[in-house]
Amino acid sequence: MHILFVADPIESFKTHKDSTYVMMREAQRRGHSVAVCLTSDLAWQSGQPVTAQVRRIHLMDITPIYGATQATQPWFDEAASEEGRVALNDFGAVLMRKDPPFDAEFIYATHLLEQAEREGAKVFNKPAALRDHPEKLALMQFPQYAPPTLVTRSAADVRAFHAEHGDIILKPLDGMGGMGIFRVKADGLNLGSIIETLNLDGAQTEIVEGDKRVLVIGGKPVPFSLARIPQGNEVRGNLAAGGKGVAMPLTEREREIAEALGPTLAARGLLLVGLDVIGGRLTEVNVTSPTCFQEITQQMGFDVAAMFVDALEAGI
């Protein structure tokens, strides 16, 4: 099967921890061919199918390297790389693995991918589902598992929410990797300045609420989570913000949440989801480019990439 990965530039991959990279490795190990493109490589000309300017690559070494350091040598064969414009429905599967932010470019790309679906392409995660599940809003569909949460542009609403709960986290809706996250304790120190910074004087909606990453693949939970533990005085546990990743078996509560949401999300066309859980409460539903494959595999010996490609092959 030919698989197209719509992703960030592959030259930027941190191969020692990138989940898309190990998806590619596992796919190639099973005999599938791998091609890559950027969202900016997608095109749709009237009367023709959606196409992409793709690079067909061959990974140079497909033996396990979980936990290894960043590759210092090229990890894909440039000599074997071929470029060309190909209709997306010529691929057996198209994997949308573009990292956030969830911005206008991302949304336009999902529209092109959705047209490719109408032409017969099989796209994972489903483009319409990506649009319908903005990651910091989707948890509002499952309030029984979420902490008290407010989405607002109103500074007065934020102040009232803080007065009610005392210790809150503020996030911008379009952030990723821990960007723009603030904690405000009962003293309310710098709350006004933080609201201004996040809310752009009322021009940008923000989320306020009350971190373990729980992966759900094909509607079923991976049996291990990755706890992203803040370091020092940092409030953010995100790995991109310097958090330490510690894999561990799912708790009963985490499994309950994953098993409750998994079938619903899978039925919506979400093959891979990353649920963020803090203190047994759902805080985010990540659908654009969930990660943590390598950390879980390295520490627990459970091959997450193999589970993912199993689900991909079953869904084709």
Residue appearing with tokens 């000309």:
45
Buried b / exposed e along 40-59 (16+ C-beta atoms within 10 A): ebbeeeeeebbbbebbbbeb
Annotated catalytic, 276?
yes
Annotated active-site residue in 213, 238, 254, 295: 213
Active site residue 213: yes
Q: Which of 30, 31, 34, 32 is nearest to 20 (CA)?
A: 34
pLDDT of residue 135: 75
Q: Is residue 185 assigned to a domain?
A: yes
Residue 236 annotated in active site: yes
Q: What pLDDT is recorded for position 241?
A: 46
pLDDT at 153 over 50: yes
Residues 234 and 295 in one domain: yes
Rounded Cα distance between 99 and 5, Å, is: 12
For the stretch 47-61, pLDDT in tens is 999 999 999 999 987
Q: Is 125 a catalytic residue?
A: no
Domain boundary residue among 95, 127, 159?
127
* Domain carrying residue 289: 138-142+211-315
Query: How confident is the model over 117-140, as pLDDT tens digits?
Result: 999 999 999 999 999 998 778 889
Six token digits for residue 247: 């894999």
Catalytic (active site) residue 212: no
265 and 289 together in one domain: yes
Non-local CB neighbours of 85 within 8 Å, separated by 6+ positions: 43, 51, 52, 53, 54
The enclosing domain of 62 has a CATH number of 3.40.50.20
Task: Answer yes or no: do 217 and 199 share one domain.
Answer: no
Q: Is 96 helix (H, G, I), strand (E, B) or coil?
A: strand
Mean pLDDT over all residues of the chain?
A: 87
Stretch 223-241: mean pLDDT, rounded?
Answer: 64
Catalytic residue among 209, 236, 254, 295: 236
Number of domains into which the chain is organized: 3
Of 25, 206, 286, 295, the catalytic one is 286
Q: Residue 252 catalytic?
A: no
Same domain, 195 and 278: no
The answer as to whether 67 is a domain residue is yes
308 and 264 within one domain: yes
User: How much is the pTM?
Assistant: 0.84
Are 270 and 215 in a shared domain? yes
Please check whether residue 132 lies inside any domain of the structure: no
